[in-house]
Amino acid sequence: MVRRDPGLDVALIEKETTPAAHQSSHNTGVIHAGVYYIPGSLKARLCVEGNRLLYDYCAEKDVPVERRGKVIVATEESELDYLKTLFKRGQANQVPDIAWLSREELAEVEPAVSGIAAVRTPSTGILSYRAVTESLARDFQTAGGTYRLGVACTGIEHRAGGTAVVETSSGPIETRRVVTCCGLQSDVVAGLSGDGPDPRIVAFRGSYAALRPEAAARLGGNAIYPVPRPEIPIFLGVHVTPQISGEMWVGPTAVLAPSREGYRMSQISLPHLVSTLRFRGFRKLMGQHLRAALEEGVLELRPALLAKHLQQMLPWVEEADLIPRVANGVRAQAVAADGSLVEDFEIHDERPVMNVRNAPSPGATSCLALAKMLADQALDGLGRTVAGGGGA
């Protein structure tokens, strides 16, 4: 927005004192290719476009990135139908160079991975999204934006004449446009502006283990994913992903988080748990997926079971190859009142306030494409500012 209209005053407020303190630095660090998403959805379009924009951006700004490729591996006949569906989706989404691999072709690409077929996407990459966010924050300030860390939004009031007042922990800001994108707090902050309660964010905590270096060295360098369960396609299953730091992570699991930003199980918030359990959508969701939820919990607690689980794709892995709990993250997943998981990105625009209600994975991959779309929408109708007039 600041680049497109240098006359605008644009302020970005962030309640934490560092950039990317939550999901954007507690994630797997994968640049997704765009396979999983329903053709025509925002996710499908913005992920594929975001993938390309992100590689270009990293090249321009010297942000370390590696184009590693990824295999989605079927280990049982029963998974082939859904793998074929994903392959067709990837083709429809125009994922570059997507390929179907036979058992033999998979063995050439990843000799230590066992599977009966796979889909490979060479455009999958890895990077640090913290580094990307820090670079974007520098760009924003250089272009004239005001970046205020440690400032929380505490209220949003619509005013007559189409403006809004954002109440913050360091005073009010009157503005002609507000865009909120608050991750784990997105429903709470949207609620401050009068947006409805649906969908609600349910926080799922995930933990990663790491493969010991000798075990990681057996792999060919691709990200290695199982075929997700068709009934919960947005949880991609426990995967093995190289990190830009050189580690090889295994995970994440997905269990109910003890609080919205509860990275450790000791960070329990009783009001959060009570309110989640009282949410009808969550109870319905658990009613449908209780078994899967319990299995995920057990995987995190028992590294031996995590190793056994991994053996479907990596039959040689043993518990001793795993370093448990090297990292964790909490994902913001929007859940509708009827218990369905909101799959696509969801944005509610009630001028002058635009609330991003759901931006889960591949939100980080899509960040530049999503930002472009939001900026177009936010600037539309604002009119160009008179030189020197400022105000946004």
Ligand X SMILES: Cc1cc2nc3c(=O)[nH]c(=O)nc-3n(C[C@H](O)[C@H](O)[C@H](O)COP(=O)(O)OP(=O)(O)OC[C@H]3O[C@@H](n4cnc5c(N)ncnc54)[C@H](O)[C@@H]3O)c2cc1C
Q: Which residues bind ligand X (CB under 6 A)?
A: 13-16, 20-24, 26-30, 32, 152-153, 181-185, 189, 206, 252, 329-331, 359-365
Q: Min. distance of Cβ 234 from ligand X in angstroms?
A: 11
CA gap 275, 271 in Å, rounded: 6
Nearer to ligand X by Cβ, of 71 and 117: the residue is: 71
Q: Min. distance of Cβ 80 from ligand X in angstroms?
A: 25
Q: Min. distance of Cβ 13 from ligand X in angstroms?
A: 5
Q: Min. distance of Cβ 374 from ligand X in angstroms?
A: 11
Going across the sheet that includes 164-168, the strands are: 153-158, 164-168, 173-175
Nearer to ligand X by Cβ, of 20 and 369: the residue is: 20
- Cα of first residue to Cα of last residue in the chain, in angstroms, is 10
Nearer to ligand X by Cβ, of 260 and 289: the residue is: 260
Nearer to ligand X by Cβ, of 117 and 355: the residue is: 355
Q: Min. distance of Cβ 54 from ligand X in angstroms?
A: 9
Nearer to ligand X by Cβ, of 102 and 146: the residue is: 146
Note the Cα 65 to chain centre separation in Å.
Answer: 17
Residue nearest to ligand X (CB): 363
| Of 314, 202, 210, residue with least CA distance to 252 | 210
What is the phi/psi pair of residue 68, to 5°?
Answer: -95, -30
Which 3 state secondary structure label does DSSP give 242? Answer: strand
User: Are 181 and 353 within 8 A, CB to CB?
Assistant: no
Nearer to ligand X by Cβ, of 369 and 392: the residue is: 369
Say how many C-beta atoms besides its own lie within 10 A of residue 150's C-beta. Answer: 12
3-state secondary structure 309-373: HHCCCCCCCCHHHEEEEEEEEEEEEEECCCCCECCCCEEEEECCEEEEEECCCCCCCCHHHHHHH
User: Are 392 and 177 within 8 A, CB to CB?
Assistant: yes
| Of 239, 243, 266, residue with least CA distance to 253 | 239
Nearer to ligand X by Cβ, of 84 and 148: the residue is: 148
